[in-house]
Amino acid sequence: MKQLVELKSQKESFNKLNTELIFVFREESLGVDGLKKIREKHDPPFTLALDYRKKSSAGYSPTPMTFHNYVIDSEGVIRHVIDGDLRQRAKPAALINALKAIESVGK
């Protein structure tokens, strides 16, 4: 949840970059009820999704305990991958820099 809170603190920076953040949870043992509790506790301004059986998301973190972040452009192309693991997740600055790089290419 630390990453969710850190990213929430940069909400305005993400809004200025016309960005939508989507969190896909795979390890949430309480399923949809767990996502509801997360939403109630943290009130994230982001989309929360669940792939409990890891059918779609497994390819994005192919080894156990990987928590990568993907920066995808408006055409659906993965432009940046920021590696992460259980203890170290992508920081807001890394995501913002990746988004700015995409934005500058599009100009």
pLDDT in tens, 68-80: 999 999 899 999 9
pTM, whole model, 2 decimals? 0.83
Do the Cβ atoms of 21 and 46 come closer than 8 Å?
Answer: yes
Parent domain of 56: 2-106
Rg over alpha carbons for the chain, rounded to the nearest Å, is: 14
pLDDT band at residue 106, thresholds of 50, 70 and 90? low
- What φ, ψ does residue 72 adopt, rounded to 5°? -115, 130
Nearest CA to 89 out of 2, 12, 29 is that of: 2
Mean pLDDT of 81-97: 92
Q: What is the CATH number of the domain that holds 73?
A: 3.40.30.10
Q: How many domains does the chain have?
A: 1
pLDDT in tens, 5-57: 999 999 999 999 999 999 988 877 888 898 899 999 999 999 999 887 778 88
pLDDT in tens, 19-33: 999 998 887 788 889
